[in-house]
Amino acid sequence: MKNKKNNLKHRFMIIFIFLFFIFFSLVGRLFYVMAVTADKYKSKAYEQQKSEIQINAKRGRILDRSNNELAISVNVYQIDLDLITLKDTLKNKNMTFDELADKLVPIVNMKKEDIIKIFNTTLPSGLPASSAILKRQVEKAEVDKIKALNIRGIVISPDTKRYYANNNFLTNVLGRINYEGKGISGVELSYNKELSGTPGTLTYEKDVKNNQLPYEDQQYVKPVDGKDVILTIDETIQDYVEKAAEKAVVDNKAKAVNIMVMNPKNGEILAMTSKPSYDPSKPQKDSEGSKGESNIWKNPSVQDTFEPGSIFKVITAADALENNIGINDGYACGGSIKIGTTVIHCWNLDGHGNESFVDIIKNSCNVGFAQLGNKLGKDKLLAFAQKMGFGQKTGIDLPGESPGILRKASQVNAVDLASIAFGQGLGVTQVQYMAAFNAIANGGTWVKPHVMKSIAHLDDSNKMTIDKEFSDYNKKKVFDTNLAANLRGDLEKVVTEGVGKNAFVEGLNIGGKTGTAQVADPATGRYAPGVYMSSFAGMAPVSDPKITILVSVDEPDSSNYYAGDVSAPVARELFKQIFNYMAIKGEENVLGK
């Protein structure tokens, strides 16, 4: 009996110790949770109870140099889905996702299957998502119809939509944004950080049924709107250029026309266009190039290279002047020249006869420049071309710039040297060529081409405040001032006496150079028969150029392709319009100080 009692006592003691151990373990665990890890669990609970909606900042405007609006954002709406609340709502209304999708299709203009897919959005882990975006940039009329459905879980919040002035006006420069509101080409991409601003947030706490807790205040962080980007572009000059390019495409049955207008003194691009173009406000289907890249969104003046042809003779002539080689020599053109076993023809098959240095420039004589190239030698010609910026990027503030193509001296033979001297056998971009041409126009200084003039914002009183002005000119002296003046005089003779007569305007003293280059066929690597790039580069007035223009007509009608007949007349009309505009508005008001 006594042993039984002892055994019972022993058992009770074991049970008591066991329960005591469990009790203190629970107390210890409770203390650990409540004291040691309290902040962690509070934070986790808050995250589960918190609902946060991002409020997009209004994207900054893009303006021309006179503050005319080129791209603006207007207030629209974004439709978000609180998927947990939405499921509960549909359950209470005895409605399925499929039925709700049917109601939304005609309102948001989306495919039913796309809406269903959004309803079933999952996280990377594979778990159902708690929220999703149904559609952005929704107009008020659509939002009103969605509100009329009276479905809790469909959240309406502010959003912005991008509009561009005049549809395809300045398209390739302005670029475009994607559906997330981020810049993906042009100025929209280059200055995306400045234009984007900082999003705001609306935060509130909710109960287990996702209802907002009535005793909790909303936390609202106001978005910071993006800044405005003011361009060097002049809207009026751009309008002249747009219309001139469109007309040139039609008149010449051309594949494309690219035009640039610049202030040679400071590298400001006053106008830039490529036709045909697209409307960035409308969805576009990309056209694919030979390597699969998208073509429609390109800016050809920045991204595409072309063989410049005779407009490059300006650079060869400048090299001859700098080195004092061939400028006092005589040249003989019988219509062709033989270099080794290769015969190079002049555009004038009858030949130009005996010529001086100035003659080969104004006559645009290929034979004369082949001879001049031989006198200079490949080392001097290629080194000078490199000094003028060829074979390298200019650093323009637009995306996707090509460095062009300039071969090393070791890769150039006698035939190549002759071809390069008159502008074939190398690749340049329009901005690259214009930077070099501007150095001749402004007295020998290379200046970086650019489209941004300043960054600004509107203060609380709606007054514009400048935050930053363009300052990265990267100026460098590349040519002698007096020699540049001499060469400009020679270029004036091209317009008054030579192949550029169709660019002549009485009283403007235009200097320029035509260029008709053969175009290579990528499939064969040879020049395609009857396919040309016809260009004209000009400056005015020659004594102190205020304006430079480059007109390039890609693949004009093969029955009339010479630049003197195709590109020079386009430049003439532009010079007349621009200088008339400057006379009326005032040079300082157009170009600035």
DSSP code for 542: T
CB atoms within 10 A of CB 584: 10
Give the separation between CA 426 and CA 384, rounded to whole angstroms.
14
Which pLDDT score is estimated for 459?
A: 85
- Name 54's bridge partners: 201
Both ends of the chain: CA-CA distance in Å?
118
Which SS3 state, helix, strand or coil, does residue 253 take?
coil
Sign of CA dihedral 21, 24, 28, 33: positive
Place of tokens 């400071």: 266
DSSP code for 560: S
Q: Which two tokens stand for residue 259?
A: 């035009």
pTM of the model: 0.83
Amino acid type, 119: F
Place of tokens 């009276």: 150
CB atoms within 10 A of CB 225: 20
Place of tokens 């002539």: 317
Give the separation between CA 412 and CA 421, rounded to whole angstroms.
12
Give the separation between CA 50 and CA 206, rounded to whole angstroms.
6
Place of tokens 């395809």: 168
CB-CB contact of 260 with 301 (8 Å): yes
CB atoms within 10 A of CB 128: 13
CA atoms within 13 A on the CB side of 371: 23
Report the helix count and the strand count for the chain, using DSSP H and E: 21, 23
Q: Walk along the chain (593 residues) and give the pLDDT tens digit of each residue.
A: 556 566 666 677 777 777 777 777 777 666 666 666 656 655 555 555 566 666 778 899 999 999 999 999 888 888 988 888 888 888 888 888 888 889 999 998 999 899 999 888 888 877 888 888 898 888 989 999 999 998 888 988 877 788 888 778 999 999 988 877 889 999 999 999 999 988 877 666 655 555 555 555 567 777 888 999 999 999 999 999 999 999 999 999 999 999 999 999 999 999 999 998 876 666 544 443 333 334 667 899 999 999 999 999 999 999 999 999 999 999 999 999 999 899 999 999 999 999 999 999 999 999 999 999 999 999 999 999 999 999 999 999 999 999 999 999 999 999 999 999 999 999 999 999 999 999 999 999 999 999 999 999 988 888 999 999 999 999 999 999 999 999 999 999 999 999 999 999 999 999 999 999 988 877 787 888 889 999 999 999 999 999 999 999 999 998 899 999 999 999 999 999 999 999 999 999 899 86
Q: Which two tokens stand for residue 14?
A: 């074991």
CB-CB contact of 100 with 83 (8 Å): no
Give the separation between CA 258 and CA 264, rounded to whole angstroms.
18
CB-CB contact of 222 with 203 (8 Å): no
Give the separation between CA 387 and CA 380, rounded to whole angstroms.
10
Three-class DSSP labels, 424-461: CCCEECHHHHHHHHHHHHCCCEECCCECEEEEEEECCC
| Alpha helices per DSSP H over 308-347 | 313-323
CB-CB contact of 563 with 306 (8 Å): no
Tell me which residue of 81, 73, 75 sits closest to 104, measured CA to CA.
81
Give the separation between CA 23 and CA 390, rounded to whole angstroms.
84
CB-CB contact of 107 with 203 (8 Å): no
Which SS3 state, helix, strand or coil, does residue 368 take?
helix
CB-CB contact of 388 with 396 (8 Å): no
